[in-house]
């Protein structure tokens, strides 16, 4: 029996899936009602401007392409409320300093209607303060720290499960795979700490034993002390809460020291950097993600075909997350019949399970996506393959 909760969608979404086989997802998600009489009378033909912030220069992913494809499809089908979508990209460089500057420029100079982006939680949290102050709607497809949506901001949303939700699902996976004793290794950061806490809490509920919890510093290049700690405990699986490059280095060292236990990881490992060095070292590492192109769902397969036609390569999780964020935003603007941030936020909260290529989206009162199932991937032959059990 599969340990992954199957994707479920309401009746209208199932009907849309069937239609997508004939007409393609773009027609289903991008077409909307014509602008109402008030808008036409006001002559609102200027573009709807959306900011897209991401560590574009430091991450090897396809977020930019996913957002761009969504904008191109929307514009091909008449835009939103009869207005074209115009994207404004910015590289936050993966630092709080630059992220704050991007947020300030977006809020004060670019005349934007909404912002999508910021992968890193510490950057998204800092930027969200600026966006909230300037009444600018903000949707993060990548920031996972629970604090982002616990600041009391009505215009902040997250389209990926947070660290608490991801940690719980990782522990559930371990339970269903028959593991009983676990070591938790996490980076000394908000992301690593929150994910480790969530794994440990859920493990306790499942009667799984955490035999050691080991933190590491990104700046430290010496893994000997970590290996020595592993030698002192018994375990049949290792949770790794950190980034892909660090995981590759840690796993490679562990294998050289004779440790054969499998590794599990969260979003941070869903990156080609996991395969830096000898990819055989990370073979069978299980990674939790929000998307995989081998999912047989018709929405996913239609999205794959269109993305490959546009960019000549398969979409990754962040292409899908970026795509969904913009298409969902367009849906909310149509629901609100307005680009006012408060009205769009109300529409997002009122949505009853909007269905995209990464699954079902419904938001709680804080702006967190709820009941969105995540997808496990497994490292095979230098790539992350779709995992089913």
Domain boundaries, the chain: 24-161+298-373, 164-289
Backbone angles phi, psi at 25, to 5 degrees: -60, -30
pLDDT digits (tens, 9 = 90+) for 170-199: 999 999 999 999 999 999 888 888 899 999
Average pLDDT over residues 55-68: 95
Domain 164-289: CATH class, spelled out: alpha beta
Residue 220: predicted pLDDT: 67
Q: How far is CA 17 from CA 25, 30, 151, in A?
A: 8, 14, 36
**Is-contact 106 88, C-beta < 8 A?**
yes
pLDDT tens track for 135-150: 999 999 999 999 999 9
Report, as an integer, the average pLDDT of 124-145: 97
Asked if 255 contacts 229 with a C-beta cutoff of 8 angstroms, the reply is: no
Q: Which two tokens stand for residue 271?
A: 């990156």
As a whole-number percent, the residues of the chain with pLDDT over 70 amount to: 88
**What tokens were used for 384?**
């992350």
pLDDT at 109 over 80: yes
How does residue 204 score in pLDDT terms, banded at 50, 70 and 90? very high
Q: In whole angstroms, what is the distance from residue 48 CA to residue 110 CA?
A: 11
Q: Which residue has the higher pLDDT, 325 or 218?
A: 325
Distance separating alpha carbons of residues 136 and 330, to the nearest angstrom: 15
Query: pLDDT band for position 374 (50/70/90)?
Result: confident
CA-nearest of 94, 200, 97, 169 to 374 is 169
What is the tens place of the pLDDT at every residue in 88-104?
999 999 999 999 999 99
CB 4 within 8 A of CB 347: no
The per-residue pLDDT for range 157-169, each reduced to its tens digit, is 999 999 999 999 9
Structure tokens at 16: 């849309």
Report the alpha-carbon distance of residue 150 to residue 365 in Å, rounded: 10
Task: Give me the pLDDT at residue 292, please.
Answer: 84
Considering the domain delimited by 24-161+298-373, tell me its CATH architecture.
3-Layer(aba) Sandwich (3.40)
Closest of 332, 349, 350, 356 to residue 10, by C-alpha: 356
Rounded CA gap, 271 and 333, in Å? Answer: 32
Q: What residue has token string 């993966």?
A: 94
Tell me the mean pLDDT in the region 270-291: 89
- 24-161+298-373 and 164-289 share one fold: yes
State the pLDDT at residue 171.
94
Burial readout 154-171 (b: 16 or more C-beta within 10 A, e: otherwise): bbbbbbbbbbbbbbbbbb
* Token pair of 174 as six digits: 């371990």
pLDDT tens digits, residue range 15-58?
334 333 333 333 334 344 444 434 433 457 899 999 999 999 98
Q: What is the mean pLDDT of the chain?
A: 87
Q: pLDDT category, 295, cuts 50, 70, 90? A: confident
pLDDT confidence tier of residue 389, bands split at 50, 70 and 90: low
pLDDT given for residue 28 in this prediction: 38
pLDDT for residue 234 is more than 80: yes
């Amino acid at each position: 029996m599969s340990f992954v909760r199957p994707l479920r969608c309401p009746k209208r979404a199932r009907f849309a899936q069937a239609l997508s086989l004939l007409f393609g997802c773009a027609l289903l998600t991008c077409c909307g009602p014509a602008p109402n009489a008030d808008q036409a009378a006001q002559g609102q033909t200027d573009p709807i401007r959306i900011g897209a912030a991401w560590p574009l220069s430091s991450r090897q992913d396809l977020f930019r392409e996913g957002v761009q494809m969504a904008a191109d499809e929307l514009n091909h089908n008449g835009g939103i409320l009869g207005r074209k979508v115009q994207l404004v990209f910015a590289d936050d460089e993966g630092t709080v300093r630059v992220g704050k500057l991007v947020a300030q420029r977006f809020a004060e100079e670019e005349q934007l209607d909404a912002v999508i982006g910021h992968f890193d939680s510490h950057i998204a949290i800092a930027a969200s303060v600026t966006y909230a102050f300037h009444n600018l709607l903000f949707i993060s497809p990548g920031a996972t720290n629970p604090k982002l949506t616990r600041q009391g901001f009505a215009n902040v949303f997250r389209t990926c499960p947070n660290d608490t939700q991801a940690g719980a699902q990782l522990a559930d996976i371990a339970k269903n795979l028959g593991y009983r004793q676990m070591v938790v290794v996490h980076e000394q950061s908000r992301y690593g700490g929150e994910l480790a806490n969530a794994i440990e809490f859920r493990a306790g509920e499942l009667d799984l034993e955490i035999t050691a919890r080991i933190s590491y510093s990104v700046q430290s290049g010496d893994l000997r002390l970590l290996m020595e700690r592993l030698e002192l405990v018994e375990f049949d699986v290792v949770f790794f809460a950190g980034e892909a490059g660090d995981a590759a280095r840690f796993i490679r060292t562990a294998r050289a020291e004779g440790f054969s236990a499998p590794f599990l990881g969260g979003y941070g490992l869903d990156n080609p950097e996991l395969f830096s060095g000898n990819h055989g070292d990370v073979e069978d590492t299980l990674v939790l993600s929000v998307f995989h192109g081998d999912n047989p769902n018709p929405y996913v397969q239609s999205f794959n075909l269109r993305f490959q036609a546009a960019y000549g390569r398969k979409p990754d999780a962040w292409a899908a997350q970026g795509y969904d964020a913009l298409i969902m935003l367009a849906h909310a603007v149509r629901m609100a019949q307005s680009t006012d941030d408060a009205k769009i936020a109300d529409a997002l909260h009122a949505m009853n399970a909007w269905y995209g290529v990464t699954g079902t989206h419904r938001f709680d009162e804080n702006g967190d996506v709820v009941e969105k199932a995540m997808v496990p991937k497994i490292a095979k032959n230098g790539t992350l393959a779709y995992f089913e059990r």
